[in-house]
Structure 1
Amino acid sequence: MSGGDVRPVLFDLDGTLIATRRLYLEAFADALEPVLDRRATHDEMMALRPRAEARFLREVGGDEAHPDVMDRFWVAYEARHAADFEGIYPGVPELLAVLRGRGLPLGLVTGKSRRTWEITRPHVEGALGRFDALVFDDDVPEPKPDPSGILLALEALAAGPEGCVYVGDTYSDLEAARSAGLVPVGALWSKRPHEREAFATHARSLDGFVVESPSDLADALAM
């Protein structure tokens, strides 16, 4: 992006800007335990590649139990927030401040529900600031890798996809970005060492790139 370019920068939220893996996995386990008759492990749930919370819980818990599963999930997410929310990734507030200082519109496209965002928002909004577009799972017909959320954010920003990037931490983030015509950017700062190589390879296969840190992203977007 050139210094005169004011194309929007879109971000995923969980695993990209804020660290919620443990919070989600514990809340998922709480919600599903009565249905599964046991407590699912973190590895078991991660193997299922959870994305949008309500859709994931319906897939695992089934349609009949879904209302009760969701009630337990929301209770658990809020109750566990103080102990299990791991905060904002280092360097993210500074990254967002730099991008805003360049006059770039910022959007958030997340599989998070508005309800869980309202639980987390008071803990992060001061550091993250306000986004120019917000798209939640409630707003879209299908979760990522479907591109509808990204396209909805671009519409809200009155922007086309050309020259825009979408920054995320999952394969579905990268694929959604590519399907929407944006450049996929993989955030490596939340990835475990054994996950990095395959994730980076996938990003490059979609004509995207990866960044090691938020400061690296700020530098990349200045080029």
Structure 2
Amino acid sequence: MTLPLPPGEFQAYLFDCDGTIADSMPLHYTAWQQALAEWNCDFPEDLFYAWGGRPVVDIVGTLNESQGLAMPAEEIARRREDCYRDLLPGLTAVPEVLHHIDQAHRRLPLAVVSGSTRESVTASLETLGLLHKFDVLVCADDYTLAKPDPEGFLLAARLLDVPAQSCLVFEDTELGIQAATAAGMASVRVPQPRQRPTSARKDRSGDAPAAL
């Protein structure tokens, strides 16, 4: 599978992290399942992917409302973060996105724009050996309005000192694509794990990933 780029002379690349650089969504889903288990909260996998890019507080609030629960959002967020960190040794990069990072490194400024915490983003990029390739990290605590609002992408463009219309965004969620469009930026849609060919979802040992 390849990720063809739209035409244009781009001056910077902006990347979402989870599901875009890091093939982390299956790990995040496992972490959610572990964090929600003690509350007997049901979070189907298809819903998890449909809600990609939503803040944790919003997700917990919606789950509480739909299932008559009273889960504390901050506690769930901390528990989910701890579970994800325990799973990090199994993290891999999305090969097609890694190709574009390697091709652009030292040629164009690169930024990460993520709705995850800086701690989580840094841990993922360090695990993958990619942290040094990014000039700017824009994470959840750096902006107020979550995707699909363009605030995070516009902040990254300002920090890189590149016009918004000269940035190319790599994203795996519909909310992220909407945010890029609202920022006046071209974008590349990264297929989610279940949308990729079976061979692309196999891990480096050649075996299919364990069922979630």
TM range (shorter): 0.7 to 0.9
Q: TM-score when scaled to structure 2?
A: 0.75
User: Would you say 1:71 and 2:78 are equivalent positions?
Assistant: yes
| 2:101 paired residue among 96, 111, 114 | 96
Residues 59-84 of structure 1, C-alpha deviations (whole Å, 9 max, x = no match)? 4357761232123112211222234x
Distance 1:95 1:48, change over 3 A: closer
Distance 1:146 1:166, change over 3 A: same
| 2:18 paired residue among 14, 34, 39 | 14
Residues 110-158 of structure 1, C-alpha deviations (whole Å, 9 max, x = no match)? 112112223323211x246421111011111121111000011011011
Tell me how large the CA RMSD over aligned residues is: 2.7
Gap regions ≥5 residues in structure 1: 195-223
Deviation of 1:41 after TM superposition, in Å, equals: 3.3
Q: Residues of 2 paired with 1:127 and 1:145: CA distance?
A: 26
Aligned residues: 187
Gap regions ≥5 residues in structure 2: 1-6, 198-212
Structure with the larger RCO, 1 or 2 (CA within 8 Å, 6+ apart): 2
Partner of 1:18: helix, strand, or coil? coil
- Equivalent in the alignment of 1:152: 155
Q: Residues of 1 paired with 2:122 and 2:131: CA distance?
A: 14
Q: Residues of 1 paired with 2:181 and 2:53: CA distance?
A: 20
Distance 1:80 1:39, change over 3 A: farther
Contact 1:93 1:127 in 2 (8 A): no
Contact 2:115 2:146 in 1 (8 A): yes
